[in-house]
Structure 1
Amino acid sequence: MHTAANLSKRSWRKLLLTAIIWILALLFFAPIYIVILNSFKTKPELMVSAISLPKSIDFGNYATILTNNDFFPSLLFSVFIVAVTTTLTILVSSLAGYSLARWKSKFSGAIMLVFLSTLFVPFQVYMVALIVIARDLHLTGNAIGLILIYIALGMPVPIFLYRSYAYAMSTEIEEAAAIDGCSRLQLFFRVVLPLMKPITATVAVLNALWSWGEFLVAFLVYGNHKPMTIPLSQQYFFGTYNQQWHLIMTGFVVSTIPIVIFYILMQKHIVKGIAAGAVKG
């Protein structure tokens, strides 16, 4: 009796949990569904109803967006900014995180604490000072300045992740490589960094997602210089196509496709890395 009652209770809990998950998933995907749905509508159809199906699949909105003179330069510029920022962030943070993990000193934890403490300070607190310093260093209005500031702002979390991951790594392989004559840099790039592939994929995804959609820093540091990043170009896009929500939503869809593809590709590596690490452990 007790066993049957326990099984029934567990079944109801599982059913309730499944229902809650489905409800949350629907709430999460509802805005995405509405945006994609309305990207295939004409303006009159959208004005009638935002949730009804389009009368026909029309790619005219996408043709308008793709033939816009500012779209492709902004897309390529955003890809360049994200690629350089992510690559340099991975390079610097992996070196810093690994060094802090292998540095047997009380100062290692203190330095890490200083890095993490910056996360508790809102950007608006030091925003003005950052812009003043960037202007004095001639880093405003150019891509190099934007990349350097992105790297600086996005560094604490990757360093923390690499340091934590390096702590859990065995030092036997490193010691064997050192005995074979590897220098410190050879040891890191040939042995350590390949072993850090799972956390590297995680850092790449987090950094790319942030820098791709970031607006405020780009607006303050880079301004209205051309080519613009995707978030900056969308601001002027709204002004050009004011009240034309079918085109605005189409712009949202097109601008998110590259980063979604990147996330899907990298997610596979993250899952494989986590699974490999679990089996090894």
Structure 2
Amino acid sequence: MNLSVRGKRRLKAAVTNGIMMAIMIFYLLPFWYVVNNAFKERSYISLQPFTINLDIFTLDNIISAFSKMNYPAAFFNSFAVLAISCLIFILLGSMTAYGIYIADHKFFNRLYVLFVALIALPFQAAMVPLVTLLRTLHLSDNFLGLALIYSAMFMPFIVFLYTGFMRSLPKELMESARIDGCSYFQVYAYVYMPLLKTVTGIVLVLRGVYVWNDLQVPLIVINNPVRQTLQQRLYVFAQSRIGNFDLVFAGALLTCLPMILLFLMMQKSFIKGVMAGSVKG
């Protein structure tokens, strides 16, 4: 009986690992295709698309794409949008969740339900009113306006995460801090926010990567070429060089490289945060 159970568990583990390996290969193949062909001349891409040969290795594509895309300026634009968006995500999301948590009132509980329900609202349904509102407030073609659009898109999900995590913490922490003389804001800043590092990290990674890689929202908000993000610059760059796959692959690699490097540097912290969150849940 025990041998049968062990056999079933091993079979289940083998099947699960096989499926995960297939998914990993499915995601890695397109990335390898881009990385491999970004360092080749155009004539070799169709001849050797999946193999790399040091004899045909070249950095000319990277250098040319870096220069023609005006990469430093576009990188700064994307970084500015990402920084402003993440700041709004953390401050407004955590403070809204904190207010819902400490009030514990029917009105705020219903407000929380409304926030959760808004997660199902697609961006396309609110796209036209949001863009019209930005123009009315003179925030169109502006980094802050773009960040506010992302905040409107993701705030329900962020409030949901922060509120759920706060409700898993004992309220005795707040009561003890209040007895010691802390104000509600001090309790939020010095007691709860340090305990919310896990969910904050998850918000930064999940929503931050989306903001960096998004093309749709910048296309409808940013019109000034000087303020274009990396994704917009890559889109324009690829449209003007149809057939020049060597330069397009090089530009795509330069665009996604910052997020790849960031994940490689922070993967241990991210994994620890996910594990801590799963244990708390």
TM score, norm. by length of structure 2 = 0.91
1:195 is displaced (CA, Å) by 0.7
1:37 partnered with 2:36 = yes
Deviations 1:203-258 (A, max 9, x none): 11122111111112111111243131111111211133221111111111111111
Question: Do the aligned residues in 1 keep the contact of 2:69 with 2:233 (CA within 8 Å)?
Answer: no
1:99 is displaced (CA, Å) by 1.4
1:276 is displaced (CA, Å) by 4.8
Deviations 1:135-162 (A, max 9, x none): 1111111222112222222211111000
Report the residue type matching 2:138 in the other structure. Answer: H
- Partner Cα separation in structure 2 for residue 176 and residue 242 of structure 1: 64
- CA 1:103/1:269 → structure 2, altered by over 3 Å: closer, same or farther? farther
* SS state at 2:225 partner: coil
- CA 1:249/1:173 → structure 2, altered by over 3 Å: closer, same or farther? same
RMSD: 2.1
Question: Do the aligned residues in 2 keep the contact of 1:101 with 1:164 (CA within 8 Å)?
Answer: no
Q: Number of paired residues?
A: 280
1:25 partnered with 2:21 = no
Question: Do the aligned residues in 1 keep the contact of 2:199 with 2:277 (CA within 8 Å)?
Answer: no
- Partner Cα separation in structure 2 for residue 6 and residue 61 of structure 1: 56
* SS state at 1:154 partner: helix
Equivalent in the alignment of 1:193: 193
Which contiguous aligned blocks of 4+ residues in structure 1 show a shift greater than 4 angstroms?
Answer: 274-281
Equivalent in the alignment of 2:129: 129
Matches within 5 A, 1:118-267: 118-267=118-267
TM score, norm. by length of structure 1 = 0.91
1:272 partnered with 2:272 = yes
Question: Do the aligned residues in 1 keep the contact of 2:141 with 2:222 (CA within 8 Å)?
Answer: yes
1:73 is displaced (CA, Å) by 0.2
Equivalent in the alignment of 1:13: 12
Question: Do the aligned residues in 1 keep the contact of 2:82 with 2:211 (CA within 8 Å)?
Answer: yes
* SS state at 2:227 partner: coil
1:277 is displaced (CA, Å) by 6.1
- CA 1:26/1:275 → structure 2, altered by over 3 Å: closer, same or farther? closer
Question: Do the aligned residues in 2 keep the contact of 1:85 with 1:151 (CA within 8 Å)?
Answer: yes
Report the residue type matching 2:25 in the other structure. Answer: L
Report the residue type matching 1:25 in the other structure. Answer: M
1:92 is displaced (CA, Å) by 0.7
Specify every segment of 5 or more residues in structure 1 that has no aligned partner in the other structure, as ranges: none
Equivalent in the alignment of 1:84: 84
* SS state at 1:226 partner: helix
Structure 1, 68-77 or 196-205: larger mean CA deviation = 68-77
- CA 1:253/1:279 → structure 2, altered by over 3 Å: closer, same or farther? same
Report the residue type matching 1:219 in the other structure. Answer: L
Report the residue type matching 2:6 in the other structure. Answer: L
- Partner Cα separation in structure 1 for residue 51 and residue 13 of structure 2: 33
1:280 is displaced (CA, Å) by 7.6
1:275 is displaced (CA, Å) by 4.4
1:197 is displaced (CA, Å) by 0.5
1:83 is displaced (CA, Å) by 1.0
Report the residue type matching 2:227 in the other structure. Answer: P
* SS state at 2:144 partner: helix
Identical positions, percent: 27
